[in-house]
Amino acid sequence: MNKVKYGLSNVHYAVATIAADGSATFGTPKRIPGAVNLSLDPSGDAVNFFADDIKYFTQTPNAGYSGALEVAIVPDDFKVDVLGFKVDSNGALVEDANAVTKAFALLFEFQGDEKATRHVIYNCTAARPSVAGNTKEESIEVQTETLNITAGMIYVPSLSTNVPKVSVKKEQSPYTNFFSAVYQPAGLSFAVNESAVTIAAGGFKVVTFTGNSGDVTAASSSVGVSASVTENQVAITVADDASAGATVTLTDEDSHTATITVTLAE
């Protein structure tokens, strides 16, 4: 279990292209060296509904994140790729007052995270960093630069939902090449732990399932076999007078399905 996290590292950005449906494609991630601090707070105000003289319902919508990334110096590549700066024929970096900033994904990890979790936040936008500096005195005080960041979300067709952020742990397959390409969430692996069961007449069997999106319903192809769902389990009951097995179909909120073949024991 993670207890603390510290040591921001491996900060990368990847320019995003957002399609009309909200889905996104990304360029190759580029490293932002000299990362000092990242602070992003969830966005979205709580909605409270009062009834019967009590707080009857509370919901906090997910509106992404907002905050700041502090770095030693904002790289010129970032200024060109994201903030719309230009490089003239003499190699000078020119700030374009008419530039339209681009969306990007922000990738990072924390060295002190026991699980070494890696994160990507999608659909970020950044404001230009401030220009500041101090004269040199008896001691040198390092001046950092800060990018104010607002992060929204992207639509993920395989999940039929909007996604602001993904985290990947060391033991998971996307981890190794996490900073080589922006990870795109895969579809849910809605599945049962037993796809075929044998139950005697008058008996029952409990089968667990994983990977569903929201509530699950169960339907049986035979009146002699019934199924009911509780949390991540389906209880399959065979009537005393059942003469044949059945197929039990589980369906989640996004119409993903998983099936269980029920055979009547002799």
Q: What is the pLDDT of residues 200-233, one digit of tens each?
A: 999 999 999 988 878 999 999 999 999 999 989 9
Kind of pairing between the strands at 233-238 and 204-210: antiparallel
- Give the per-residue SS3 of 101-165: CCCEEEEEEECCCCCCCEEEEEEEEECCCCCCCCCCCCCCCCCCEEEEEEECCEEECCCCEEECE
pLDDT at position 37 over 80: yes
Task: Sort strands 257-264 and 246-251 into parallel, antiparallel or unpaired.
Answer: antiparallel
Amino acid identity, residue 265? Answer: A
Contact between residue 218 and residue 252 where contact means Cβ atoms under 8 Å apart: no
Q: What is the pTM of this model?
A: 0.68
Residue, of 258 and 57, whose pLDDT is higher:
258
Task: Give the residue from 59, 80, 74 showing the smallest Cα distance to 15.
Answer: 80
Q: Mind listing the pLDDT tens digit for each residue in 170-188?
A: 888 899 999 999 999 887 7
Going from the N-terminus, what domains does the chain have, and what CATH number goes with each? 8-175 (no CATH), 191-264 (2.60.40.3440)
How many CB atoms neighbour CB 218 within 10 A?
Answer: 19
Edge-to-edge strands, sheet with 246-251: 196-199, 257-264, 246-251, 217-220
The DSSP 8-state label assigned to residue 199 in this structure reads E
Tell me the per-residue pLDDT of 104-155, one tens digit each, with 9 for 90 and over: 999 999 866 677 789 999 999 999 886 654 555 555 555 789 999 999 999 9
How many whole angstroms separate alpha carbon 22 and alpha carbon 122? 11
Quick one: pLDDT band at residue 2, thresholds 50, 70, 90? very low
**Residue 188, pLDDT score:** 74
Mean pLDDT, residues 15-23: 95
Rounded to whole angstroms, how far apart are CA atoms 41 and 64?
8
SS3 141: coil
Q: Which residues contact 163 (CB under 8 A, 6 or more apart)?
A: 122, 153, 154, 155, 156, 185
CA distances from 197 to 24, 65, 161 (A): 42, 46, 33
